[in-house]
């Protein structure tokens, strides 16, 4: 290669350098796993939702600056204005104009109440329905769905997280294959899903076979769960490489105008990806929008995030509706806690506030156009129809027809349920 560079003239050498510097960066396998659609383990009750799109507002979305405005208290509200919505008498933040118009399609739950005020524990509680313990990892809601319902489309993973971090909330004590597949960039889709250049499908299969043979002695000597889990994942990945549904991961296949509606931000693109995946039968897609932890600069950051959210969520709801997917898709907007009514004069921020916060539900059989629960004048205390975290998750499970009282045991023989002892809020349906 060096010899060739010497021949190129100065101009071409520079071209070459810049381009080069810009870079880095199936057949049946063993009998260890079947990737056919797992049959649902239990009979399900009549329900409409088959999939969930879970929009995770990470950091603690300030309810007072978004969906639970307190315009009568300027000391609490701060500089963000309220605008009317399509629900009479209901106002939302001025930075959520599209959602204001679409509010009658959704159900706002303003009475969430949690006992966890620290990020990780609160996040854990919201996603697993159990409190963080030192000795055990509980499964994520998505893992429960996979375990209880199985895949809808056997050729795609059923549990996908877009833009989430590497937090260890995944399959918990269940098998790793129920855990989420993480997509770190919606624009990049599912990277490395095709064999290397110059490697045909057949050549790839031969390599896979050679690897399995080479590994036989090791696998016999070490029949550990961890090792088997890897074998399962390899098998699933090899199958996925051959799946025609892989293009679900490619949002560039959407018409440009349509992509535009979701906005420029990664979160919006993640929502578009979620729609594509659910359209192809993926059960659970979680898309994260991070940055809501506004101890500092709440009134700069919250509006910015609100606008990103507004555009993406409105586009998603309208998209699902126009495709007739709204009944079968439960859309959840959730956060781990709210923020303090009192504004910190020093930092112009709000701290954590788990005592009262807001989540939003749409589609999946939810009766739109209602506000469930309310908080007091300051937005600090729930005054009506309190909804605990487990109740909230039970509501999601109920929408999907998951059995709420079915118990699964951890290796230490402790029984757990999809939403612990939570009771679904039937009024929302």
Partner 1 sequence: MIGLALTRTPVQVPIHVPRVDSVSRRLVTVAAGIASESLLLLLYWFGPVAQAQLPAAPSDQAAADATGRDQAADSIRSATIDQFIEAAHAAAGRQPNPIVDDATFLRRVYLDIVGRIPTFGEAQQFLDSSATDKRQALVDHLLASPGYPLHQFSYWANLLRAKSKMPGGPSDFYTAWIKQNIRENTPYDRWVREMLAARGYIWSTPATGYFQRDQGMPLDNMANTVQVFLGTRLECAQCHNHPSEAWTQHDFYRTAAYRNHLSTVFYHQGQWPAMQQILDERGASKEVRIWASRTFAFLKRRVYDAGRQLRLPDDYADDDAMPGQVVEPATIYGQAACSESTCDRQQSFAEWLASPSNPYFTKVIANRMWKRVMGRGLIEPVDDMNRSTTASHPELLHFLERLMVDSQYNLKRFQRVLYNTRTYQRAVCSMDLTGAVRYGFPGPLLKQMTAEQLWDSLMTLMAPDIDLRQSERFRKLPFLRENFSAYEQATPAELVDASYQAEEVRRLHNETHEKLFELEKRIAAADKSGDAELLRQLRAKVVRLEQFRDHEIPVRIDGGTFRYRTQQEFHQATGFKPAADQPPADSYWSDPQRNWCVRAAELSSPADPHHPLRTFGQSDREQIDNGSSGPTIPLVLTLMNGEVFQKLIHSESVLMRNVHAAPTTSDLVDVLYLTLLSRLPSKDEAKLMATAQRNADEPQRAIEDITWALINTQEFLFIR
Residues 272-311 that bind partner 1 (CB under 8 A): 295-296
- Convert residues 186-225 into a mask of x (bound to partner 1 by CB under 8 A) and - (unbound): --x-xxxxxxxx-----xx-xxx-xx-xxx-xxx-xxxxx
Nearer Cβ to partner 1 (86/410): 410
Cα–Cα distance for residue pair 29/387, rounded to 1 Å: 47
Shortest gap between Cβ of 369 and partner 1 (angstroms)? 34
User: For the chain, how big is the Rg over CA atoms in Å?
Assistant: 24
Cβ-contact 127, 382 below 8 angstroms: no
In the complex, what is the shortest distance from the CB of residue 136 to partner 1, in angstroms, rounded to a whole number? Answer: 8
Q: Is residue 8 within the footprint of partner 1 (CB under 8 A)?
A: no
Q: Which is nearer to partner 1, 89 or 197 (CB)?
A: 197
Q: Which part of the chain contacts partner 1 (CB under 8 A), choosing from 71-79, 112-120, 140-148, 304-312?
A: 112-120
User: Considering only 110-118, 279-287, 389-397, 421-429, which stretch makes contact with partner 1 by CB under 8 A?
Assistant: 110-118
**What mask of x and - would describe binding to partner 1 in positions 232 to 271, judged by CB under 8 A?**
xxx-xxx-xx------------------------------
**CB of residue 245 to partner 1, shortest distance in Å:** 14
Taking the least distance from each CB to partner 1, the nearer of 261 and 295 is 295
Strands (E), 144-248: 159-162, 181-183
Report the alpha-carbon distance of residue 398 to residue 284 in Å, rounded.
15
Cα–Cα distance measured from residue 241 to residue 109, given in angstroms and rounded to the nearest whole number: 41
Q: How far, in whole angstroms, is CA 408 from its chain's centroid? A: 23
Tokens of 411: 């290796």
The DSSP 8-state label assigned to residue 184 in this structure reads: S
CB of 218 to partner 1, least distance (A): 4
- Residue numbers 302-361 binding partner 1 by CB under 8 A: 346-347, 349, 354-355
53 touches 141 (CB < 8 A): no
Distance CA 270, CA 119 (A): 23
d(CA 409, CA 398): 21
- Closest among 114, 86, 39, 15 to 393, alpha carbons compared: 114
Spatial contact of 429 and 399, defined as CB atoms under 8 Å apart: yes
Question: Considering only 101-109, 164-172, 280-288, 306-314, which stretch makes contact with partner 1 by CB under 8 A?
Answer: 164-172
And the tokens for 292?
């809501």
The distance of closest approach from Cβ of residue 126 to partner 1 in the complex, given in angstroms and rounded to an integer, is 15
Q: Does 11 bind partner 1 (CB under 8 A)?
A: yes
| 87 is a contact residue toward partner 1 (CB under 8 A) | no
The verdict on 166 binding partner 1 (CB under 8 A) reads yes
How many residues sit in the footprint of partner 1 (CB under 8 A)? 81
260 versus 414: smaller Cβ distance to partner 1: 414
Given a contact cutoff of 8 angstroms between Cβ atoms, the answer to whether 269 and 262 are in contact is yes
Asked if 128 is part of the footprint of partner 1 (rule: CB under 8 A), the reply reads no
338 C-beta neighbours (distance < 10 Å), count:
32
- Please, which residue, 290 or 327, has the CB nearer to partner 1? 290
Pairing relationship of beta strands 408-409 and 338-339 according to DSSP bridges: unpaired
Nearest approach, Cβ of residue 181 and partner 1 (Å): 5
Nearer to partner 1, 118 or 427 (CB): 118
Within 373-402, which residues bind partner 1 (CB under 8 A)?
none
Residue numbers 129-158 binding partner 1 by CB under 8 A: 134-135, 157
Three-state secondary structure of 199-213: CCHHHHHHHHHHHHH
Q: Is residue 393 helix, strand or coil?
A: helix
């Amino acid at each position: 290669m060096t010899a060739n560079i010497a021949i190129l003239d100065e101009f071409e050498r520079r071209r070459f350098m810049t381009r080069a510097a810009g870079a880095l960066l199936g057949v049946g396998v063993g009998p260890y796993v079947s990737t056919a659609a797992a049959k649902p383990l239990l009979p399900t009750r009549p329900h409409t939702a088959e999939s969930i799109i879970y929009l995770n507002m990470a950091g603690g979305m300030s309810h007072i600056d978004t969906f639970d405005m307190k315009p009568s208290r300027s000391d609490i509200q701060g500089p963000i204005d309220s605008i009317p919505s399509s629900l009479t008498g209901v106002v939302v933040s001025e930075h959520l104009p599209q959602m204001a118009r679409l509010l009658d399609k959704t159900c706002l739950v303003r009475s969430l109440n949690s006992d966890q005020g620290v990020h990780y524990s609160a996040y854990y509680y919201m996603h697993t329905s159990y409190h963080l313990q030192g000795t055990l990892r509980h499964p994520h809601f998505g893992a429960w769905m996979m375990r209880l319902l199985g895949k809808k489309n056997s050729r795609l993973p059923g549990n996908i997280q877009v833009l989430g971090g590497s937090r260890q909330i995944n399959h918990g004590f269940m098998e790793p294959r129920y855990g989420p597949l993480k997509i770190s960039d919606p624009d990049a889709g599912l990277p490395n899903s095709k064999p290397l250049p110059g490697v045909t499908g057949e050549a790839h299969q031969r390599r896979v076979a050679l690897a399995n043979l080479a590994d036989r002695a090791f696998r016999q000597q070490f029949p550990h769960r961890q090792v088997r889990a890897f074998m399962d994942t390899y098998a699933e990945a090899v199958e996925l490489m051959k799946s025609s549904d892989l293009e679900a991961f490619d949002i560039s296949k959407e018409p440009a105008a349509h992509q535009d509606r979701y906005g420029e931000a990664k979160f919006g693109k993640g929502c578009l990806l979620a729609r594509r995946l659910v359209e192809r039968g993926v059960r659970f897609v979680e898309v994260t929008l991070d940055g809501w932890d506004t101890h500092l600069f709440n009134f700069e950051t919250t509006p910015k995030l609100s606008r990103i959210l507004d555009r993406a969520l409105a586009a998603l709801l309208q998209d699902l509706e126009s495709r007739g997917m709204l009944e079968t898709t439960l859309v959840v907007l959730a956060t781990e806690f709210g923020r303090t009514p009192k504004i910190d004069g020093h930092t112009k921020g709000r701290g954590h506030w788990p005592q009262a916060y807001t989540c939003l539900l749409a589609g999946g059989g939810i009766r739109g156009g209602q506000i469930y629960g309310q908080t007091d004048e300051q937005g600090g205390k729930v005054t009506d129809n309190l909804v605990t975290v487990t109740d909230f998750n039970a509501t999601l499970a109920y929408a999907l027809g998951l059995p709420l009282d079915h118990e699964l045991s951890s290796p230490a023989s402790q029984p757990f349920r999809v939403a612990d002892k939570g009771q679904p809020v039937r009024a929302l349906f």
